[in-house]
């Protein structure tokens, strides 16, 4: 059986974060309000009323965080750019202080030998754009392309590859269908235009990036979908869920068409959102890479509620993270080989842009933070990744989620995903046992690759 040390020479090791989850300083440097500032301030919206106002204070402590990355020996760092720092109202003139922040970060990363991999949108839409309809409004896609142009004009000379969007599925479902993330709309299937407009924004931004000769990726949250049984009703339900979660976002990008959503009573125009030429724009000349965020598989049974054509079924007999998510490392191999079978030559090289787990880590009396469950999670998933690569799936890199414990959206600071423990009272950073494990793995892989 291949293992993580068998990953090919040149395989890129990284870690991921996102702006609202780590930066804090929401009223500094000319930043405008985002949908998350407004949502988190709503009573009851976020566990314990936590907000990202301070988060990990990365806006001030970034030199220390870059030193932590350097200590790991990372090849790459995936972070997101806060649109409201660049354009406080989502349109019009740029805020020079906002651009300067990321300019300094990019330079510091390069000096540390770390390639920056920015994500242009990780859910923190400028609130002013939400007030004109957010991603339900087609115009937001055009504003996104303008913002992209401002950012790539400034940073593109030093940043070779860009991720347009993070997890458009999760943003649509949690933010627009269920209302449990910002901007807090509970529109159920009427949320689908938010999927199309995000993808349109991707297509328009990708064209801007290509004009600058930059590589284009998108990061999707993907899950292998397993029917609860061989019963045709369970199998049909699993196909419907797969179309919604996975294919709604990868088919238009890789095949230039939307999947069949008739099980949801939805036509090919996604409720009237799709216009002539949109799908050509979304697919463009193809992606340079597909970012895959993987956490767990999904088990689906026939519907119990007449409103939806599926029901989620529990996955039994496996360990669970602190969040309660099932730990199924082989699901990553299953997902990657499944993508290769589904898309064949249309599948671009893959980068794992997120993978990790939450653990209830706290420092022991001697100050150390031992997180054997995280080490087991990462080791298992990296071995599954090596198995997929041995089955000829082209995977170029792995960015663990996350460098730091951070603001876990509606869970506030209640779920810790970091290799580095953050005390949210004092902002003291303590590398966990998993930090040393990941550092040693990167070094061992590199040594094996050169010998």
Q: What positions carry a catalytic annotation?
A: 167, 354
Residue ranges in 417-446 that form contacts with ligand IFM under rule CB under 6 A: 417
Cβ proximity to ligand IFM: between 208 and 357 the closer is 357
405 in contact with ligand IFM (CB under 6 A): no
Q: How far is the CB of 408 from ligand IFM (least distance, A)?
A: 5
Q: Which of 37, 75, 130, 167 binds ligand IFM (CB under 6 A)?
A: 167
Q: How far is the CB of 250 from ligand IFM (least distance, A)?
A: 17
Q: Which of 293, 298, 351, 353 binds ligand IFM (CB under 6 A)?
A: 293
Residue ranges in 44-103 that form contacts with ligand IFM under rule CB under 6 A: none
Q: How far is the CB of 265 from ligand IFM (least distance, A)?
A: 29
Q: Which residue is nearest to ligand IFM (CB)?
A: 18
401 in contact with ligand IFM (CB under 6 A): yes
Q: How far is the CB of 220 from ligand IFM (least distance, A)?
A: 10
Per-residue 3-state assignment (H helix, E strand, C coil) for the chain: CCCHHHCCCCCEEEEECCHHHHCCCCCCCCCCCEHHHHHHCCCCCCHHHCCCCCCCCHHHHHHHHHHHHHHHCCCEEEEECCHHHHCCCCCCCCCHHHHHHHHHHHHHHHHCCCEEEEEEECCCCEHHHHCCCHHHCCHHHHHHHHHHHHHHHHHCCCCCEEEEEECHHHHHHHHHHCCCCCCCCCCHHHHHHHHHHHHHHHHHHHHHHHHCCCEEEEEEECCCEEECCCCHHHHHHHHHHHHHHHHHHHHHHHHCCCCCCHHHCCCCCCCCCCCCCHHHHHHCCCCCEEEEECCCCEEEECCCCCCCCCEEECCCCCCECCCCCECCCHHHHHHHHHHHHHHHHHCCCEEEEECCCCCCCCCCCCCCCCCHHHHHHHHHHHHHHHHHHHCCCCEEEEEEECCECCCCHHHCCCCCCCCEEECCCCCCEEECHHHHHHHHHHHHHHHHHHC
Cβ proximity to ligand IFM: between 21 and 34 the closer is 21
Cβ proximity to ligand IFM: between 234 and 354 the closer is 354
Q: What angle do CA 246, 250, 256 make, to 5 degrees?
A: 140
Q: Which of 354, 361, 373, 383 binds ligand IFM (CB under 6 A)?
A: 354
408 in contact with ligand IFM (CB under 6 A): yes
Size of the site for ligand IFM (CB under 6 A): 8
Cβ proximity to ligand IFM: between 278 and 408 the closer is 408
Cβ proximity to ligand IFM: between 123 and 147 the closer is 123
Q: How far is the CB of 115 from ligand IFM (least distance, A)?
A: 21
Q: Which of 4, 12, 13, 18 binds ligand IFM (CB under 6 A)?
A: 18
23 in contact with ligand IFM (CB under 6 A): no
Residues β-bridged to residue 221: 293
Q: How far is the CB of 18 from ligand IFM (least distance, A)?
A: 5
371 in contact with ligand IFM (CB under 6 A): no
Cβ proximity to ligand IFM: between 80 and 149 the closer is 80
Cβ proximity to ligand IFM: between 45 and 274 the closer is 45
Residues near ligand IFM, by CB under 6 A: 18, 21, 167, 293, 354, 401, 408, 417
């Amino acid at each position: 059986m291949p293992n993580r040390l068998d990953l090919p020479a040149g395989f890129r090791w990284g870690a991921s974060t996102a702006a609202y989850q780590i930066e804090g300083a929401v009223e500094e440097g000319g930043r405008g309000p985002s949908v998350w500032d407004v949502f988190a301030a709503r009573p009851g919206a976020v566990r314990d009323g936590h907000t990202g106002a301070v988060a990990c204070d990365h806006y001030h402590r970034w030199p220390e965080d870059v030193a932590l990355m350097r200590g790991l020996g990372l090849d790459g760092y995936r972070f997101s750019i806060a649109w409201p720092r660049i354009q406080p109202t989502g349109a019009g003139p740029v805020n020079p202080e906002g651009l300067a922040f990321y300019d300094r970060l990019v330079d510091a990363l390069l000096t540390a030998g770390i390639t920056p991999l920015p994500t242009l949108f990780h859910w923190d839409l400028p609130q002013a754009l939400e007030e004109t309809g957010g991603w339900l409004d087609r115009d937001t896609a055009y504003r996104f392309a303008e913002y992209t142009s401002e950012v790539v004009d400034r940073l593109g000379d030093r940043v070779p590859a860009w991720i347009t969007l993070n997890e458009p599925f999760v943003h649509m479902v949690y933010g627009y269908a269920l209302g449990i993330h910002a901007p807090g709309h509970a529109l159920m299937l009427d949320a689908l235009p938010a999927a199309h407009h995000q993808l349109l924004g991707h297509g328009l931004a990708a064209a801007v990036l290509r004009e600058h000769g930059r590589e284009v990726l998108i990061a999707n949250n993907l899950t292998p979908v397993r029917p609860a049984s061989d019963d045709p009703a369970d199998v049909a339900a699993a196909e419907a869920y797969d179309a919604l979660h996975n294919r709604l976002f990868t088919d238009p990008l890789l095949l230039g068409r939307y999947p069949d959503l008739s099980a949801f009573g939805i036509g090919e125009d996604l409720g009237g959102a799709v216009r002539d030429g949109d799908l050509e724009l979304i697919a463009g000349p193809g992606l340079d890479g597909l970012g895959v965020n993987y956490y767990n598989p999904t088990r689906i049974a026939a519907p119990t509620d007449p409103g939806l054509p599926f029901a989620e079924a529990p996955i039994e007999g496996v360990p669970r993270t602190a969040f309660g998510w099932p730990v199924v490392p082989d699901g990553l191999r299953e997902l990657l080989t499944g993508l290769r079978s589904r898309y064949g030559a249309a599948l671009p090289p893959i980068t794992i842009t997120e993978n990790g787990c939450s653990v209830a880590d706290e420092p022991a009396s001697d100050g150390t933070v031992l997180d054997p469950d995280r080490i087991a999670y990462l080791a298992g998933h990296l071995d599954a990744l090596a198995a997929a690569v041995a089955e000829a799936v082209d995977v170029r890199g792995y960015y663990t989620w996350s460098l730091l414990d951070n603001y876990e959206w509606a869970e506030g600071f209640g779920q810790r995903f970091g290799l580095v423990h953050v005390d949210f009272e004092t902002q003291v950073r303590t590398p966990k046992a998993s930090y040393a494990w990941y550092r040693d793995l990167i070094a061992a892989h590199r040594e094996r690759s050169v010998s």
